[in-house]
Chains A and B, each alone.
Chain A
Protein backbone atom coordinates (compact mmCIF):
# COMPACT_ATOMS: atom_id res chain seq x y z
CA UNK A 1 0.00 0.00 0.00
CA UNK A 2 1.43 3.46 -0.83
CA UNK A 3 2.61 5.35 2.23
CA UNK A 4 0.34 8.35 1.60
CA UNK A 5 -2.70 6.17 1.23
CA UNK A 6 -1.81 4.36 4.42
CA UNK A 7 -1.27 7.61 6.33
CA UNK A 8 -4.49 9.07 4.94
CA UNK A 9 -6.40 5.97 5.91
CA UNK A 10 -4.97 6.05 9.43
CA UNK A 11 -5.85 9.72 9.82
CA UNK A 12 -9.40 9.20 8.57
CA UNK A 13 -9.80 6.14 10.75
CA UNK A 14 -8.61 8.15 13.74
CA UNK A 15 -10.95 11.02 12.98
CA UNK A 16 -13.87 8.66 12.49
CA UNK A 17 -13.08 6.73 15.67
CA UNK A 18 -12.58 9.84 17.79
CA UNK A 19 -16.03 9.82 19.43
CA UNK A 20 -15.57 6.20 20.47
CA UNK A 21 -12.14 7.09 21.88
CA UNK A 22 -13.43 9.96 24.00
CA UNK A 23 -16.29 7.75 25.12
CA UNK A 24 -13.79 5.12 26.27
CA UNK A 25 -11.44 7.64 27.92
CA UNK A 26 -14.13 10.02 29.26
CA UNK A 27 -14.80 8.16 32.53
CA UNK A 28 -11.12 8.45 33.39
CA UNK A 29 -10.29 11.84 31.94
CA UNK A 30 -13.24 14.04 32.90
CA UNK A 31 -13.24 13.49 36.69
CA UNK A 32 -9.44 13.68 36.88
CA UNK A 33 -9.46 16.98 34.99
CA UNK A 34 -12.19 18.32 37.25
CA UNK A 35 -10.08 17.67 40.35
CA UNK A 36 -7.32 19.83 38.90
CA UNK A 37 -7.28 23.57 39.29
CA UNK A 38 -9.03 25.70 36.70
CA UNK A 39 -7.28 27.30 33.73
CA UNK A 40 -6.90 26.48 30.06
CA UNK A 41 -3.11 26.34 30.18
CA UNK A 42 -3.06 23.92 33.08
CA UNK A 43 -5.61 21.70 31.38
CA UNK A 44 -3.75 21.84 28.08
CA UNK A 45 -0.57 20.73 29.86
CA UNK A 46 -2.40 17.92 31.64
CA UNK A 47 -4.00 16.78 28.41
CA UNK A 48 -0.65 16.91 26.58
CA UNK A 49 0.93 14.60 29.13
CA UNK A 50 -2.10 12.30 29.06
CA UNK A 51 -2.13 12.06 25.28
CA UNK A 52 1.65 11.72 24.94
CA UNK A 53 1.76 8.79 27.30
CA UNK A 54 -1.35 7.36 25.67
CA UNK A 55 0.58 7.39 22.39
CA UNK A 56 3.42 5.67 24.20
CA UNK A 57 0.95 3.02 25.35
CA UNK A 58 -0.24 2.55 21.79
CA UNK A 59 3.30 2.15 20.51
CA UNK A 60 4.32 -0.17 23.31
CA UNK A 61 1.37 -2.42 22.68
CA UNK A 62 1.95 -2.35 18.93
CA UNK A 63 5.61 -3.35 19.29
CA UNK A 64 4.97 -6.11 21.78
CA UNK A 65 2.01 -7.45 19.87
CA UNK A 66 3.91 -7.33 16.58
CA UNK A 67 6.86 -9.15 18.06
CA UNK A 68 4.59 -11.80 19.47
CA UNK A 69 2.75 -11.98 16.19
CA UNK A 70 -0.51 -11.42 17.94
CA UNK A 71 -1.57 -7.99 16.75
CA UNK A 72 -4.57 -9.34 14.93
CA UNK A 73 -5.54 -12.41 16.84
CA UNK A 74 -4.90 -11.88 20.51
CA UNK A 75 -6.61 -14.93 22.05
CA UNK A 76 -9.81 -14.06 23.94
CA UNK A 77 -8.46 -15.44 27.21
CA UNK A 78 -5.32 -13.29 26.99
CA UNK A 79 -7.34 -10.26 25.95
CA UNK A 80 -9.59 -10.78 28.97
CA UNK A 81 -6.56 -11.13 31.22
CA UNK A 82 -4.94 -7.99 29.84
CA UNK A 83 -8.17 -6.00 30.07
CA UNK A 84 -8.67 -7.27 33.62
CA UNK A 85 -5.21 -6.12 34.70
CA UNK A 86 -5.65 -2.74 32.99
CA UNK A 87 -9.03 -2.25 34.67
CA UNK A 88 -7.64 -3.14 38.09
CA UNK A 89 -4.73 -0.73 37.65
CA UNK A 90 -7.08 1.98 36.44
CA UNK A 91 -9.25 1.44 39.52
CA UNK A 92 -6.24 1.68 41.84
CA UNK A 93 -4.95 4.85 40.19
CA UNK A 94 -8.38 6.50 40.21
CA UNK A 95 -8.77 5.78 43.92
CA UNK A 96 -5.27 7.09 44.60
CA UNK A 97 -6.07 10.16 42.54
CA UNK A 98 -9.31 10.78 44.44
CA UNK A 99 -7.49 10.54 47.78
CA UNK A 100 -4.54 12.68 46.74
CA UNK A 101 -6.84 15.34 45.27
CA UNK A 102 -8.23 15.74 48.75
CA UNK A 103 -4.75 16.43 50.07
CA UNK A 104 -4.07 18.98 47.37
CA UNK A 105 -7.30 20.75 48.21
CA UNK A 106 -6.49 20.82 51.90
CA UNK A 107 -3.22 22.47 51.09
CA UNK A 108 -4.81 25.02 48.81
CA UNK A 109 -7.70 26.15 50.96
CA UNK A 110 -5.93 28.94 52.84
CA UNK A 111 -4.96 31.21 50.00
CA UNK A 112 -5.11 31.10 46.23
CA UNK A 113 -1.36 31.61 45.98
CA UNK A 114 -0.83 28.57 48.10
CA UNK A 115 -2.50 26.52 45.39
CA UNK A 116 0.56 26.88 43.22
CA UNK A 117 2.98 26.49 46.07
CA UNK A 118 1.20 23.58 47.67
CA UNK A 119 0.23 21.62 44.56
CA UNK A 120 2.58 18.78 43.82
CA UNK A 121 3.46 18.81 40.15
CA UNK A 122 4.67 15.25 40.38
CA UNK A 123 1.21 14.11 41.46
CA UNK A 124 -0.43 15.81 38.50
CA UNK A 125 2.12 14.57 35.99
CA UNK A 126 2.23 11.07 37.40
CA UNK A 127 -1.56 10.92 37.47
CA UNK A 128 -1.97 12.14 33.90
CA UNK A 129 0.82 9.87 32.67
CA UNK A 130 -0.39 6.71 34.38
CA UNK A 131 -3.99 7.27 33.29
CA UNK A 132 -2.81 8.02 29.75
CA UNK A 133 -0.73 4.86 29.62
CA UNK A 134 -3.51 2.63 30.90
CA UNK A 135 -6.12 4.11 28.59
CA UNK A 136 -3.59 3.59 25.79
CA UNK A 137 -3.36 -0.08 26.68
CA UNK A 138 -7.12 -0.40 27.05
CA UNK A 139 -8.35 -2.51 24.17
CA UNK A 140 -11.19 -0.25 23.12
CA UNK A 141 -12.98 -0.91 19.79
CA UNK A 142 -11.22 1.85 17.78
CA UNK A 143 -7.85 0.60 19.02
CA UNK A 144 -8.64 -2.94 17.88
CA UNK A 145 -9.78 -1.69 14.47
CA UNK A 146 -6.53 0.20 14.05
CA UNK A 147 -4.59 -2.83 15.24
CA UNK A 148 -6.18 -5.09 12.66
CA UNK A 149 -5.51 -2.62 9.86
CA UNK A 150 -1.93 -1.98 11.00
CA UNK A 151 -1.19 -5.69 11.15
CA UNK A 152 -1.97 -5.98 7.46
CA UNK A 153 0.94 -3.63 6.66
CA UNK A 154 4.30 -5.01 5.64
CA UNK A 155 6.60 -3.95 8.45
CA UNK A 156 6.62 -2.95 12.09
CA UNK A 157 7.75 0.58 11.17
CA UNK A 158 4.78 1.00 8.84
CA UNK A 159 2.46 -0.32 11.54
CA UNK A 160 3.91 2.12 14.08
CA UNK A 161 3.47 5.04 11.68
CA UNK A 162 -0.08 3.89 11.09
CA UNK A 163 -0.73 3.86 14.83
CA UNK A 164 0.90 7.27 15.33
CA UNK A 165 -1.21 8.91 12.62
CA UNK A 166 -4.32 7.14 13.86
CA UNK A 167 -3.52 8.55 17.28
CA UNK A 168 -3.25 12.07 15.84
CA UNK A 169 -6.67 11.70 14.23
CA UNK A 170 -8.29 10.62 17.49
CA UNK A 171 -6.44 13.25 19.55
CA UNK A 172 -8.21 16.13 17.80
CA UNK A 173 -11.38 14.99 19.51
CA UNK A 174 -9.74 15.45 22.89
CA UNK A 175 -9.10 19.18 22.39
CA UNK A 176 -12.56 20.22 23.72
CA UNK A 177 -11.63 18.69 27.07
CA UNK A 178 -9.41 21.73 27.61
CA UNK A 179 -12.71 23.61 27.95
CA UNK A 180 -13.22 21.95 31.34
CA UNK A 181 -10.60 24.41 32.51
CA UNK A 182 -13.15 27.21 32.44
CA UNK A 183 -15.41 25.50 35.00
CA UNK A 184 -15.01 27.26 38.31
CA UNK A 185 -13.39 25.04 40.90
CA UNK A 186 -14.90 25.06 44.33
CA UNK A 187 -15.32 22.50 47.04
CA UNK A 188 -18.51 21.19 45.42
CA UNK A 189 -16.96 20.56 41.99
CA UNK A 190 -13.87 18.89 43.41
CA UNK A 191 -15.89 16.75 45.81
CA UNK A 192 -18.26 15.64 43.04
CA UNK A 193 -15.33 14.79 40.76
CA UNK A 194 -13.61 12.80 43.52
CA UNK A 195 -16.77 10.89 44.35
CA UNK A 196 -17.36 10.17 40.66
CA UNK A 197 -13.80 8.89 40.42
CA UNK A 198 -14.39 6.45 43.25
CA UNK A 199 -17.63 5.22 41.65
CA UNK A 200 -15.93 4.71 38.30
CA UNK A 201 -13.02 3.02 40.05
CA UNK A 202 -15.47 0.63 41.72
CA UNK A 203 -16.93 -0.20 38.33
CA UNK A 204 -13.48 -0.88 36.87
CA UNK A 205 -12.57 -2.89 39.95
CA UNK A 206 -15.60 -5.15 39.62
CA UNK A 207 -15.07 -5.55 35.88
CA UNK A 208 -11.37 -6.26 36.39
CA UNK A 209 -12.01 -8.92 39.00
CA UNK A 210 -14.70 -10.50 36.83
CA UNK A 211 -12.34 -10.58 33.84
CA UNK A 212 -9.48 -12.04 35.86
CA UNK A 213 -11.81 -14.74 37.09
CA UNK A 214 -12.60 -15.45 33.47
CA UNK A 215 -16.21 -14.35 33.81
CA UNK A 216 -18.02 -12.77 30.94
CA UNK A 217 -19.03 -9.22 31.78
CA UNK A 218 -21.75 -9.17 29.16
CA UNK A 219 -24.23 -11.69 28.00
CA UNK A 220 -25.40 -12.75 31.45
Chain B
Protein backbone atom coordinates (compact mmCIF):
# COMPACT_ATOMS: atom_id res chain seq x y z
CA UNK B 1 0.00 0.00 0.00
CA UNK B 2 1.33 3.44 -0.87
CA UNK B 3 2.37 5.76 1.95
CA UNK B 4 -0.42 8.26 1.24
CA UNK B 5 -3.01 5.53 1.34
CA UNK B 6 -1.62 4.28 4.65
CA UNK B 7 -1.76 7.73 6.16
CA UNK B 8 -5.32 8.18 4.89
CA UNK B 9 -6.28 4.80 6.36
CA UNK B 10 -4.72 5.73 9.70
CA UNK B 11 -6.54 9.06 9.69
CA UNK B 12 -9.82 7.37 8.88
CA UNK B 13 -9.31 4.91 11.72
CA UNK B 14 -8.51 7.77 14.07
CA UNK B 15 -11.65 9.73 13.22
CA UNK B 16 -13.94 7.95 15.75
CA UNK B 17 -11.42 8.65 18.50
CA UNK B 18 -11.27 12.32 17.49
CA UNK B 19 -15.05 12.65 17.75
CA UNK B 20 -15.12 10.72 21.03
CA UNK B 21 -12.35 12.88 22.47
CA UNK B 22 -14.14 16.05 21.48
CA UNK B 23 -17.33 14.92 23.18
CA UNK B 24 -15.66 13.53 26.30
CA UNK B 25 -13.28 16.37 27.05
CA UNK B 26 -16.00 18.97 27.30
CA UNK B 27 -17.09 20.15 23.86
CA UNK B 28 -20.76 21.11 24.11
CA UNK B 29 -22.32 22.85 21.10
CA UNK B 30 -24.07 26.02 22.20
CA UNK B 31 -22.25 26.25 25.52
CA UNK B 32 -20.90 29.62 26.66
CA UNK B 33 -17.38 30.24 25.36
CA UNK B 34 -14.67 30.10 27.99
CA UNK B 35 -11.16 30.58 26.56
CA UNK B 36 -9.40 28.56 29.27
CA UNK B 37 -11.59 25.48 29.20
CA UNK B 38 -11.93 25.66 25.40
CA UNK B 39 -8.16 25.74 25.01
CA UNK B 40 -7.84 22.79 27.40
CA UNK B 41 -10.51 20.88 25.49
CA UNK B 42 -8.95 21.50 22.10
CA UNK B 43 -5.47 20.64 23.33
CA UNK B 44 -6.62 17.43 25.02
CA UNK B 45 -8.65 16.36 22.01
CA UNK B 46 -5.68 16.86 19.72
CA UNK B 47 -3.35 15.21 22.21
CA UNK B 48 -5.46 12.06 22.52
CA UNK B 49 -6.17 11.93 18.80
CA UNK B 50 -2.56 12.36 17.73
CA UNK B 51 -1.39 9.67 20.14
CA UNK B 52 -3.97 7.23 18.80
CA UNK B 53 -3.03 8.14 15.23
CA UNK B 54 0.62 7.41 16.04
CA UNK B 55 -0.30 4.06 17.55
CA UNK B 56 -2.15 3.13 14.39
CA UNK B 57 0.47 4.57 12.10
CA UNK B 58 3.59 3.13 13.75
CA UNK B 59 2.11 -0.21 14.88
CA UNK B 60 3.67 0.54 18.24
CA UNK B 61 1.66 0.87 21.44
CA UNK B 62 3.73 1.31 24.54
CA UNK B 63 5.65 4.53 23.96
CA UNK B 64 2.56 6.50 22.83
CA UNK B 65 0.45 5.08 25.62
CA UNK B 66 3.17 6.04 28.09
CA UNK B 67 3.10 9.67 26.98
CA UNK B 68 -0.62 9.75 27.72
CA UNK B 69 -0.29 7.82 30.94
CA UNK B 70 2.49 9.92 32.43
CA UNK B 71 0.62 13.10 31.46
CA UNK B 72 -2.43 11.73 33.21
CA UNK B 73 -0.42 10.85 36.31
CA UNK B 74 1.14 14.31 36.51
CA UNK B 75 -1.94 16.37 35.64
CA UNK B 76 -4.36 14.48 37.87
CA UNK B 77 -2.97 15.77 41.21
CA UNK B 78 -2.72 19.30 39.79
CA UNK B 79 -6.40 19.53 38.89
CA UNK B 80 -7.51 17.49 41.87
CA UNK B 81 -5.61 19.41 44.52
CA UNK B 82 -6.62 22.74 42.99
CA UNK B 83 -10.31 21.82 43.13
CA UNK B 84 -9.95 20.39 46.61
CA UNK B 85 -8.28 23.50 47.97
CA UNK B 86 -10.78 25.67 46.14
CA UNK B 87 -13.70 23.80 47.71
CA UNK B 88 -12.32 23.16 51.21
CA UNK B 89 -9.25 25.30 51.63
CA UNK B 90 -7.17 22.24 52.52
CA UNK B 91 -6.19 18.75 51.35
CA UNK B 92 -6.92 17.33 54.80
CA UNK B 93 -10.42 15.99 55.16
CA UNK B 94 -11.88 15.55 58.66
CA UNK B 95 -13.03 12.02 59.52
CA UNK B 96 -16.64 13.22 59.92
CA UNK B 97 -16.62 14.33 56.29
CA UNK B 98 -15.31 10.91 55.27
CA UNK B 99 -17.94 9.09 57.28
CA UNK B 100 -20.60 11.33 55.79
CA UNK B 101 -19.35 10.40 52.32
CA UNK B 102 -18.46 13.95 51.37
CA UNK B 103 -15.16 13.02 49.79
CA UNK B 104 -14.29 12.75 46.10
CA UNK B 105 -14.99 9.52 44.22
CA UNK B 106 -12.20 6.97 43.96
CA UNK B 107 -12.31 3.54 42.35
CA UNK B 108 -9.69 1.96 44.61
CA UNK B 109 -12.00 0.82 47.45
CA UNK B 110 -14.50 -0.88 45.11
CA UNK B 111 -13.28 -4.47 45.69
CA UNK B 112 -13.09 -3.87 49.43
CA UNK B 113 -16.74 -2.88 49.60
CA UNK B 114 -18.32 -5.91 47.99
CA UNK B 115 -18.45 -8.12 51.10
CA UNK B 116 -19.74 -5.38 53.44
CA UNK B 117 -22.41 -4.62 50.84
CA UNK B 118 -23.39 -8.30 50.58
CA UNK B 119 -23.66 -8.77 54.33
CA UNK B 120 -25.20 -5.48 55.34
CA UNK B 121 -26.76 -4.12 52.14
CA UNK B 122 -24.89 -0.92 52.92
CA UNK B 123 -21.96 0.54 51.05
CA UNK B 124 -19.17 1.88 53.23
CA UNK B 125 -17.81 4.12 50.52
CA UNK B 126 -15.45 7.00 51.20
CA UNK B 127 -16.92 9.10 48.43
CA UNK B 128 -19.81 11.23 47.39
CA UNK B 129 -22.12 8.55 46.03
CA UNK B 130 -25.23 10.06 47.51
CA UNK B 131 -24.90 13.47 45.93
CA UNK B 132 -24.47 12.22 42.38
CA UNK B 133 -25.66 8.63 42.42
CA UNK B 134 -26.52 8.53 38.72
CA UNK B 135 -23.06 9.70 37.70
CA UNK B 136 -21.31 7.23 39.99
CA UNK B 137 -23.62 4.39 38.95
CA UNK B 138 -22.94 5.16 35.30
CA UNK B 139 -19.21 5.25 35.99
CA UNK B 140 -19.24 1.93 37.83
CA UNK B 141 -21.40 0.42 35.06
CA UNK B 142 -19.00 1.59 32.38
CA UNK B 143 -16.05 0.35 34.38
CA UNK B 144 -17.67 -3.09 34.66
CA UNK B 145 -18.44 -3.32 30.97
CA UNK B 146 -15.00 -2.18 29.86
CA UNK B 147 -13.24 -4.34 32.42
CA UNK B 148 -15.08 -7.40 31.20
CA UNK B 149 -13.81 -6.70 27.71
CA UNK B 150 -10.31 -5.51 28.49
CA UNK B 151 -9.41 -7.33 31.67
CA UNK B 152 -6.64 -5.55 33.51
CA UNK B 153 -6.31 -3.01 30.71
CA UNK B 154 -7.78 -0.49 33.15
CA UNK B 155 -4.43 -0.28 34.91
CA UNK B 156 -2.66 0.83 31.73
CA UNK B 157 -5.26 3.05 30.11
CA UNK B 158 -7.45 4.60 32.79
CA UNK B 159 -5.89 4.48 36.24
CA UNK B 160 -4.96 8.02 37.21
CA UNK B 161 -2.48 6.85 39.84
CA UNK B 162 -0.06 4.65 37.89
CA UNK B 163 1.28 7.41 35.65
CA UNK B 164 3.49 9.02 38.26
CA UNK B 165 5.51 5.88 38.89
CA UNK B 166 5.62 5.04 35.19
CA UNK B 167 7.07 8.50 34.60
CA UNK B 168 9.63 8.07 37.37
CA UNK B 169 10.52 4.60 36.07
CA UNK B 170 11.21 6.11 32.64
CA UNK B 171 13.84 8.55 33.96
CA UNK B 172 16.91 6.34 34.52
CA UNK B 173 18.56 4.70 31.53
CA UNK B 174 19.16 1.46 33.39
CA UNK B 175 17.74 -0.23 36.45
CA UNK B 176 19.91 -0.05 39.55
CA UNK B 177 18.18 -3.06 41.09
CA UNK B 178 17.66 -5.91 38.67
CA UNK B 179 17.09 -9.00 40.81
CA UNK B 180 13.59 -8.88 42.23
CA UNK B 181 12.11 -11.63 44.35
CA UNK B 182 9.25 -13.17 42.33
CA UNK B 183 7.28 -13.77 45.52
CA UNK B 184 6.76 -10.02 45.83
CA UNK B 185 4.18 -10.40 43.06
CA UNK B 186 1.87 -12.02 45.58
CA UNK B 187 1.70 -8.98 47.87
CA UNK B 188 -1.19 -7.23 46.04
CA UNK B 189 -3.27 -10.38 46.43
CA UNK B 190 -2.41 -10.52 50.12
CA UNK B 191 -3.27 -6.83 50.51
CA UNK B 192 -6.55 -7.45 48.70
CA UNK B 193 -7.41 -10.42 50.94
CA UNK B 194 -6.42 -8.60 54.13
CA UNK B 195 -8.20 -5.39 53.19
CA UNK B 196 -11.40 -7.15 52.11
CA UNK B 197 -11.52 -9.01 55.42
CA UNK B 198 -10.61 -5.98 57.53
CA UNK B 199 -13.08 -3.77 55.67
CA UNK B 200 -15.78 -6.29 56.47
CA UNK B 201 -14.74 -6.51 60.11
CA UNK B 202 -14.35 -2.76 60.63
CA UNK B 203 -17.02 -1.65 58.17
CA UNK B 204 -14.71 0.94 56.72
CA UNK B 205 -12.50 1.05 53.63
CA UNK B 206 -9.40 -0.15 55.46
CA UNK B 207 -7.10 0.41 52.49
CA UNK B 208 -8.04 4.09 52.27
CA UNK B 209 -7.55 4.50 56.00
CA UNK B 210 -4.18 2.82 56.24
CA UNK B 211 -2.33 1.94 53.07
CA UNK B 212 -3.18 4.16 50.11
CA UNK B 213 0.05 5.85 48.98
CA UNK B 214 -1.86 8.30 46.82
CA UNK B 215 -3.33 10.01 49.84
CA UNK B 216 -0.02 11.85 49.75
CA UNK B 217 -1.02 13.61 46.54
CA UNK B 218 -4.79 13.70 46.89
CA UNK B 219 -6.92 14.11 49.98
CA UNK B 220 -5.82 12.70 53.32
CA UNK B 221 -7.32 12.26 56.78
CA UNK B 222 -6.88 15.47 58.71
CA UNK B 223 -4.84 14.22 61.66
CA UNK B 224 -5.98 15.45 65.02
CA UNK B 225 -4.11 12.94 67.15
CA UNK B 226 -1.22 10.49 67.09
CA UNK B 227 -3.14 7.83 65.20
CA UNK B 228 -4.06 10.20 62.39
CA UNK B 229 -0.46 11.35 62.22
CA UNK B 230 0.74 7.74 61.95
CA UNK B 231 -1.69 7.14 59.11
CA UNK B 232 -0.42 10.13 57.19
CA UNK B 233 3.20 9.12 57.79
CA UNK B 234 2.37 5.68 56.35
CA UNK B 235 0.82 7.31 53.27
CA UNK B 236 3.85 9.52 52.67
CA UNK B 237 6.36 6.71 53.24
CA UNK B 238 4.52 4.37 50.91
CA UNK B 239 4.30 7.07 48.27
CA UNK B 240 7.97 7.96 48.56
CA UNK B 241 9.06 4.32 48.57
CA UNK B 242 6.76 2.68 46.04
CA UNK B 243 5.97 5.55 43.68
CA UNK B 244 9.25 7.47 43.63
CA UNK B 245 12.30 5.63 44.95
CA UNK B 246 11.69 2.02 43.90
CA UNK B 247 10.41 2.80 40.39
CA UNK B 248 13.55 4.88 39.89
CA UNK B 249 15.78 2.06 41.08
CA UNK B 250 13.99 -0.82 39.34
CA UNK B 251 12.39 0.84 36.30
CA UNK B 252 9.18 -0.97 37.24
CA UNK B 253 5.76 0.16 38.42
CA UNK B 254 6.45 -1.06 41.93
CA UNK B 255 3.30 0.26 43.58
CA UNK B 256 1.17 -1.51 40.96
CA UNK B 257 3.26 -4.68 41.16
CA UNK B 258 3.76 -4.89 44.90
CA UNK B 259 0.88 -3.19 46.63
CA UNK B 260 -2.20 -2.19 44.67
CA UNK B 261 -5.18 -4.40 45.67
CA UNK B 262 -7.33 -2.90 42.94
CA UNK B 263 -4.82 -4.17 40.39
CA UNK B 264 -5.05 -7.65 41.89
CA UNK B 265 -8.83 -7.42 41.69
CA UNK B 266 -8.62 -6.32 38.06
CA UNK B 267 -6.32 -9.28 37.31
CA UNK B 268 -9.22 -11.64 37.92
CA UNK B 269 -10.96 -10.15 34.89
CA UNK B 270 -8.04 -11.14 32.67
CA UNK B 271 -9.46 -14.65 32.93
CA UNK B 272 -12.65 -13.62 31.14
CA UNK B 273 -11.34 -10.85 28.92
CA UNK B 274 -11.28 -11.83 25.24
CA UNK B 275 -7.94 -10.10 24.67
CA UNK B 276 -4.60 -11.48 25.83
CA UNK B 277 -0.92 -11.50 25.00
CA UNK B 278 0.44 -14.70 23.48
CA UNK B 279 3.98 -15.79 22.84
CA UNK B 280 4.61 -17.70 19.63
CA UNK B 281 6.93 -20.40 20.88
CA UNK B 282 8.12 -21.18 17.35
CA UNK B 283 9.49 -17.67 16.97
CA UNK B 284 10.60 -17.13 20.55
CA UNK B 285 14.24 -17.64 21.40
CA UNK B 286 13.97 -16.97 25.11
CA UNK B 287 16.18 -13.91 25.34
CA UNK B 288 13.86 -12.56 28.08
CA UNK B 289 13.94 -9.03 26.68
CA UNK B 290 10.17 -9.09 27.18
CA UNK B 291 10.57 -9.99 30.85
CA UNK B 292 12.91 -7.07 31.41
CA UNK B 293 10.70 -4.66 29.51
CA UNK B 294 7.52 -5.54 31.38
CA UNK B 295 6.81 -2.70 33.82
CA UNK B 296 4.59 -4.88 35.98
CA UNK B 297 6.61 -8.09 36.48
CA UNK B 298 3.96 -9.98 34.50
CA UNK B 299 6.40 -12.19 32.64
CA UNK B 300 8.56 -14.90 34.13
CA UNK B 301 10.77 -17.50 32.53
CA UNK B 302 8.13 -20.13 33.25
CA UNK B 303 5.33 -18.08 31.73
CA UNK B 304 7.45 -17.40 28.63
CA UNK B 305 8.02 -21.14 28.33
CA UNK B 306 4.26 -21.63 28.53
CA UNK B 307 3.76 -19.00 25.83
CA UNK B 308 1.69 -16.61 27.91
CA UNK B 309 1.88 -13.72 30.33
CA UNK B 310 0.99 -13.95 34.00
CA UNK B 311 -2.47 -13.12 35.30
CA UNK B 312 -1.30 -9.66 36.34
CA UNK B 313 -0.64 -8.54 32.73
CA UNK B 314 -1.87 -4.96 32.18
CA UNK B 315 -1.85 -5.19 28.38
CA UNK B 316 0.33 -2.13 28.05
CA UNK B 317 2.09 -3.53 24.99
CA UNK B 318 5.65 -3.05 26.28
CA UNK B 319 6.62 -6.67 25.66
CA UNK B 320 5.13 -6.70 22.15
CA UNK B 321 7.07 -3.60 21.19
CA UNK B 322 10.28 -4.84 22.81
CA UNK B 323 10.41 -8.34 21.34
CA UNK B 324 13.11 -8.40 18.64
CA UNK B 325 11.49 -11.38 16.91
CA UNK B 326 7.87 -10.22 17.01
CA UNK B 327 7.10 -13.40 18.92
CA UNK B 328 4.65 -11.72 21.33
CA UNK B 329 1.35 -10.79 19.79
CA UNK B 330 -2.02 -9.36 20.74
CA UNK B 331 -4.44 -12.23 20.61
CA UNK B 332 -8.18 -12.80 20.69
CA UNK B 333 -9.09 -15.87 22.69
CA UNK B 334 -10.46 -18.70 20.62
CA UNK B 335 -8.46 -17.81 17.52
CA UNK B 336 -5.17 -19.20 16.30
CA UNK B 337 -2.11 -17.60 17.80
CA UNK B 338 -1.05 -15.67 14.72
CA UNK B 339 -4.51 -14.78 13.50
CA UNK B 340 -4.21 -11.12 12.46
CA UNK B 341 -2.45 -9.80 15.58
CA UNK B 342 -2.58 -6.22 14.30
CA UNK B 343 -6.34 -6.46 13.99
CA UNK B 344 -6.53 -7.85 17.53
CA UNK B 345 -4.36 -4.97 18.75
CA UNK B 346 -6.55 -2.36 17.08
CA UNK B 347 -9.74 -3.95 18.35
CA UNK B 348 -8.33 -3.82 21.85
CA UNK B 349 -7.03 -0.29 21.41
CA UNK B 350 -10.38 1.11 20.33
CA UNK B 351 -11.92 -0.01 23.61
CA UNK B 352 -8.88 0.90 25.66
CA UNK B 353 -8.47 4.33 24.11
CA UNK B 354 -12.17 5.08 24.45
CA UNK B 355 -11.73 4.33 28.15
CA UNK B 356 -8.53 6.38 28.26
CA UNK B 357 -10.29 9.37 26.73
CA UNK B 358 -13.34 9.01 28.94
CA UNK B 359 -11.48 8.83 32.25
CA UNK B 360 -8.04 10.19 31.45
CA UNK B 361 -8.96 12.76 28.82
CA UNK B 362 -11.29 14.63 31.10
CA UNK B 363 -8.68 14.63 33.85
CA UNK B 364 -5.97 15.86 31.50
CA UNK B 365 -8.27 18.64 30.27
CA UNK B 366 -8.98 19.62 33.86
CA UNK B 367 -5.26 19.64 34.71
CA UNK B 368 -4.44 21.80 31.70
CA UNK B 369 -7.28 24.18 32.54
CA UNK B 370 -5.90 24.48 36.09
CA UNK B 371 -2.44 25.35 34.80
CA UNK B 372 -3.93 27.86 32.37
CA UNK B 373 -5.85 29.47 35.21
CA UNK B 374 -2.53 30.19 36.90
CA UNK B 375 -0.57 31.12 33.79
CA UNK B 376 -3.10 33.25 31.88
Contacts and interface: CB of A to CB of B under 8 A. Distances in A.
Interface of A: 19, 23-24, 26-27, 30-31, 188, 191-196, 198-200, 203, 206, 210, 215-217, 219-220
B227 A199 contact: no
A196 B190 contact: yes
A199 B190 contact: yes
B119 interface: yes
A28 to B, nearest CB: 9
Nearest to A24: B201
B75 to A, nearest CB: 31
B186 A220 contact: no
B261 to A, nearest CB: 10
Contacts of A27: 194, 197-198, 200-201
B interface residue count range (under 10 / 10 to 19 / 20 to 34 / 35 or more): 20 to 34
B316 interface: no
Contacts, number: 74
B217 interface: no
A32 to B, nearest CB: 11
B206 to A, nearest CB: 8
Interface stretch (B100-108, B218-226, B318-326): B218-226
Contact of B186 (A26, A31, A192): A192
Nearest to A191: B186
Interface of B: 94-95, 115-116, 119-120, 183, 186-187, 189-191, 193-194, 197-198, 200-201, 203, 206, 210, 221-228, 230
Contacts of B200: 23, 26-27
Contact of A199 (B191, B201, B223, B225): B191
A30 B193 contact: yes
A26 B197 contact: yes
Given A215-B227, A220-B224, A220-B227, A203 B186 contact: no
A217 B227 contact: yes
Contact of B193 (A31, A210, A219): A31
Nearest to A218: B95
Contacts of A192: 186, 189-190, 193
Residue with the greatest number of chain B CB neighbours at <10 A, chosen from A203, A215, A217: A203
Contacts of B206: 203
A143 B358 CA distance: 48
B221 A220 contact: yes
B298 to A, nearest CB: 14
